[in-house]
């Protein structure tokens, strides 16, 4: 019985070490991804600025979700976290679409309407 308890304790310790390594890898990956997106030039238009902001928000939300999932105690908690994340993402995407649509409409509103007339040579 003592050997079985010792084996269980070592397995638990090993699995916790693996979880910590995975959490560290996830944190490193999302840190790199966030820095990469933040350093990208947006072009200065409202539309591209919004796209960049939304990408940064989505990266942060996904990172939080994976952190929470890695700490789930059981399958029921995992499914609850998944459900909450998906509902929040659908709500966010709806807001993103509205914001991008408004920014696009503004940028298209200042664009020329139709083709420019071609200059005809003078005789």
Q: Does the pLDDT of residue 114 top 80, yes or no?
A: no
**Residue-wise pLDDT tens digits, 15-28:** 888 888 888 888 89
pTM of the predicted model as reported, rounded to 2 decimal places: 0.68
Q: Give the pLDDT band of residue 44 (cuts 50, 70, 90).
A: confident
Q: Give the pLDDT band of residue 36 (cuts 50, 70, 90).
A: confident
Q: Does the pLDDT of residue 108 top 80, yes or no?
A: no
What secondary structure, in 3-state letters, does the chain show? CHHHHHHHHHHHHHHHHHHHHHHHHHHHHHHHHHHHHHHCCCCCCHHHHHHHHHHHHHHHHHHHHHHHHHCCCCHHHHHHHHHHHHHHHHHHHHHHHHHHHHHHHHHHHCCCCCCCCCCCCCC
**Residue-wise pLDDT tens digits, 46-85:** 888 888 888 899 999 999 999 999 888 899 999 999 999 9
């Amino acid at each position: 019985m003592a050997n079985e308890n010792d084996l269980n304790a070592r397995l638990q310790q090993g699995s916790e070490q693996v979880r910590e390594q995975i959490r560290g890898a996830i944190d490193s990956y999302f840190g790199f991804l966030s820095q990469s997106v933040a350093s990208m030039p947006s072009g200065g238009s409202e539309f591209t600025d919004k796209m960049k902001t939304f990408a940064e928000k989505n990266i942060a939300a996904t990172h939080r979700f994976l952190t929470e999932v890695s700490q789930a105690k059981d399958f029921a908690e995992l499914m609850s976290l998944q459900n909450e994340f998906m509902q929040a993402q659908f709500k966010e995407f709806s807001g993103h679409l509205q914001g991008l649509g408004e920014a696009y409409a503004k940028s298209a509103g200042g664009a020329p309407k139709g083709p420019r007339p071609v200059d005809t040579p003078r005789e």
